[in-house]
Amino acid sequence: MHGHQLRLLAEEEHLDLWTDITIGGLYGALKRLDAEGLIEEVRTEQVGLYPQRKVWRITDDGAHTLSALRLSGLREIVLKPDPFDLILTRLGPEHLDDLPAVIDARVTSLKAMLTEYETLMRAISRYLSVAESLAMEHRVVRLRAEVDWHEGLAGRLAEVIVDEKARRGTHDRAE
């Protein structure tokens, strides 16, 4: 396939739902894959007045790498650290009064993301394989867990703020 065909396929397959790869990033990825010997140019073709396009195919090394990446992707558990957690544990006194509004905004944003994703899932559900449906359901479950956790945090904010102020008082006296 040439890059434009891959881009259309990526859009059709909703690549953005399953990965953090952007459709626009495909051309840069093709260059890297070529440089690493994972794909190779087969030919250049031109149809009508469209520009010339390089047609690519996967190499044997590319097929082996792809197979290994698929297996790794099934085995690997990815839970990336959320910078929010670090900041929550290192709140500055100047941010304590902002915390309720910030948490409320985060809950609102997470709920909107959840609603948007559930709506998308319902809209495309008839086109999805069983595995694709389960992958989308996984994301819904994770978003719901985020909403629940943040709502629990909101319920304990007074406790967090009192604890932080007490800790600040202790640290200030120790200095």
Q: What pLDDT score does 28 carry?
A: 85
Q: pLDDT tens for residues 15-73? A: 777 777 777 778 888 899 999 999 999 998 888 888 888 899 999 999 999 999 999 99
Q: What pLDDT score does 171 carry?
A: 52
Residues 25 and 108 in one domain: no
Residues 112 and 53 in one domain: no
In the chain, the number of structural domains is 2
Q: What does each C-alpha distance from 73 to 8, 56, 166 come to in angstroms? A: 24, 24, 45
Range of the domain at 93: 83-174
Coil vs helix vs strand at 113:
helix
Q: What pLDDT score does 170 carry?
A: 55
Question: In the listed set 75, 103, 124, which residue is the last one of a domain according to the structure?
Answer: 75
Q: What pLDDT score does 175 carry?
A: 46
Residues 8 and 66 in one domain: yes
The answer to whether 144 and 121 are in contact (CB under 8 A) is: no
Q: pLDDT tens for residues 115-159? A: 999 999 999 899 888 998 999 999 999 999 999 999 999 999 999
pLDDT band at residue 91 using 50, 70 and 90 as cut-offs: confident
pLDDT at 6 over 90: no
Residues 19 and 88 in one domain: no
pLDDT at 173 over 70: no
Torsion-angle region of residue 129: left (phi > 0), alpha (psi -120 to 50) or beta? beta
Residues 88 and 65 in one domain: no
Q: What pLDDT score does 47 carry?
A: 83
Read off the pLDDT of each residue in 94-105 and give the average, rounded to a whole number: 92
